[in-house]
């Protein structure tokens, strides 16, 4: 069977929805690297322009689009009910899946691809980096609110869209396998980084062990809590809507919190080569902690709050381990743009881990202050 070209697939996908008006254009949109995203412009009977987001799901990354869309439909439907109960605006405070003509939450094209449509949240902006501490606070509050609203959702019913995604102990095991195989002969040149990881083997099990012992509850987690996955109101600069729900899975609240800290509580690029410029920011850590707990605090157990710093430390360590593992295996997972790119990335993460270890007591005190 011959495969349809991309333009024909786009037109096929567009024909799968009732748009409530005339489709006048569909253009590539956003800065995402995983899915193909288009902004669809329509004109309704009154002559107004109404926009939608159309996405082709990357089924190489997300191999079960049925399960993925069941997760998203379930979570966004639950959020709408909670937002309505609070008197909020369901058209702006959550993503809204638009069903196909057949009533499905996604469309399977003739090439076997998967497409979905969301309503467009107007009057918002999406930041690629922290521009002020207020922005970081707003992202914290938005992700905290996400936890708060979904506290009663049966997390165990969600599909794992990427298996064992934040199982740090398993990430360590994969690193050890890559080290033993050493398929590229690179291990001899990165002994310092290898020793850094091996010295923290026990740390990798801290959170997964607490979960296994039933001491931490399973939560609905976003698993990609970067600043650019929050839509902010253009006028008020308030964080209003959590987006990019492909990695919504059962997990630990501290992991979502920790990944935000890893990404935002510093002033360096993820692949900074000059480690003197890589510094963990305790003030930004405090800003985020204050916002997150202001929104999510009442939904979290005492132990969840106490282990939030572990989330920050382990998400950063885990990310560094993944970069180092990929480097040892030949750079096949993360896209690289220069020789040693993954090595630079892992060193940046390990420097941030070291910084956190130096101010560990202060981190614990800050969390206690806002708990």
pLDDT (tens, 9 = 90+) of the chain, 371 residues, equals 556 777 899 999 999 999 999 999 999 998 777 789 999 999 998 999 999 999 999 998 899 999 999 999 999 999 999 999 999 999 999 999 999 999 999 999 999 999 999 999 999 999 888 788 999 999 999 999 999 999 999 999 999 988 888 899 999 999 999 999 999 999 999 999 999 999 999 999 999 999 999 999 999 999 999 999 999 999 999 999 999 999 999 999 999 999 999 999 998 888 899 999 999 999 999 999 999 999 999 999 999 999 999 999 999 999 999 999 999 999 988 888 999 999 999 999 999 999 999 999 999 999 999 99
pTM: 0.93
Cβ-Cβ contacts under 8 Å for 256 (sequence gap 6 or more) = 143, 146, 147, 221, 222, 223, 225, 311
CATH of span 133-370: 3.90.1200.10
* Nearest Cα residue to 268 out of 280, 282, 278: 278
Whole-number Å distance between alpha carbons of 274 and 116: 41
* Nearest Cα residue to 102 out of 10, 17, 8: 17
Enter the tokens of residue 356. Answer: 């956190």
Phi, psi of 119 (to 5 degrees): -65, 150
Contact between 16 and 103 (Cβ < 8 Å): no
Q: What is the pLDDT of residues 4-40, one digit of tens each?
A: 777 899 999 999 999 999 999 999 998 777 789 999 9
Residues pairing with 280 in the sheet: 266
Residues pairing with 54 in the sheet: 38, 117
Whole-number Å distance between alpha carbons of 200 and 315: 13
The structural domains of the chain, with segments of one domain joined by +, span 16-121, 133-370
Domain spanning 16-121: CATH superfamily: Phosphorylase Kinase; domain 1 (3.30.200.20)
Conformational region of residue 182, where left means phi above 0, alpha means psi within -120 to 50, and beta covers everything else: left
Kindly write down the DSSP assignment for every residue of 92-107, as one continuous string.
Answer: TSS--BPP-TTS-SSE
| Strand order, beta sheet including 124-125 | 124-125, 230-233, 239-242
User: Side-chain half-sphere of 102: how many Cα atoms within 13 Å?
Assistant: 9
Whole-number Å distance between alpha carbons of 46 and 39: 20
Cβ atoms within 10 Å of 129's Cβ, excluding its own = 12
């Amino acid at each position: 069977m011959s495969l349809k070209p991309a333009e024909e697939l786009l037109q096929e996908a567009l024909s799968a929805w009732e748009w409530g008006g005339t489709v006048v254009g569909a253009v590539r949109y956003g800065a995402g690297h995983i899915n193909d995203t288009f902004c669809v412009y329509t004109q309704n009977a009154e002559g107004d322009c109404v926009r939608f987001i159309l996405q082709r799901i990357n089924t190489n990354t997300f191999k079960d689009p049925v399960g993925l869309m069941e997760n998203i439909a379930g979570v966004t439907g639950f959020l709408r009910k909670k937002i309505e109960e609070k008197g909020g605006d369901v058209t702006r405070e959550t993503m809204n899946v638009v069903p196909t003509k057949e009533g499905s939450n996604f469309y399977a094209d003739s090439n076997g691809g998967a497409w979905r449509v969301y309503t467009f949240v107007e009057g918002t902006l999406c930041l690629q980096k922290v521009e002020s501490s207020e922005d970081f606070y707003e992202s914290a509050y938005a992700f905290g609110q996400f936890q708060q609203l979904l506290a009663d959702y049966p997390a165990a019913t969600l599909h794992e869209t990427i298996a064992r995604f934040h199982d740090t102990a398993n990430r360590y095991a994969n690193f050890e396998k890559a080290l033993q195989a050493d398929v590229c002969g690179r291990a001899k040149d990165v002994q310092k980084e290898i020793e850094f990881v091996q010295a923290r083997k026990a740390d990798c099990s801290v959170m997964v062990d607490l979960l296994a012992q039933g001491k931490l509850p399973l939560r609905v987690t976003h698993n990609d809590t970067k600043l650019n996955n929050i839509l902010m109101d253009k006028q008020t600069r308030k964080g209003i809507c959590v987006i990019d729900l492909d990695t919504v899975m059962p997990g630990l609240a501290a992991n979502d919190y920790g990944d935000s800290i890893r990404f935002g509580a510093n002033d360096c690029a993820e692949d900074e080569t000059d480690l003197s410029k890589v510094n963990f920011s305790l003030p930004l850590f405090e800003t985020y902690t204050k916002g997150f707990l202001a929104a999510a605090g009442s939904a979290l157990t005492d132990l969840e709050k106490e282990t939030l710093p572990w989330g920050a430390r382990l998400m950063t360590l885990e990310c560094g381990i993944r970069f180092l593992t990929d480097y040892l295996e030949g750079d096949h997972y993360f896209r690289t743009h220069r020789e040693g790119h993954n090595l630079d990335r892992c060193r940046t993460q390990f420097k941030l881990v070291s910084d956190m270890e130096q101010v560990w007591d202060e981190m614990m005190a800050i969390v206690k202050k806002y708990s």
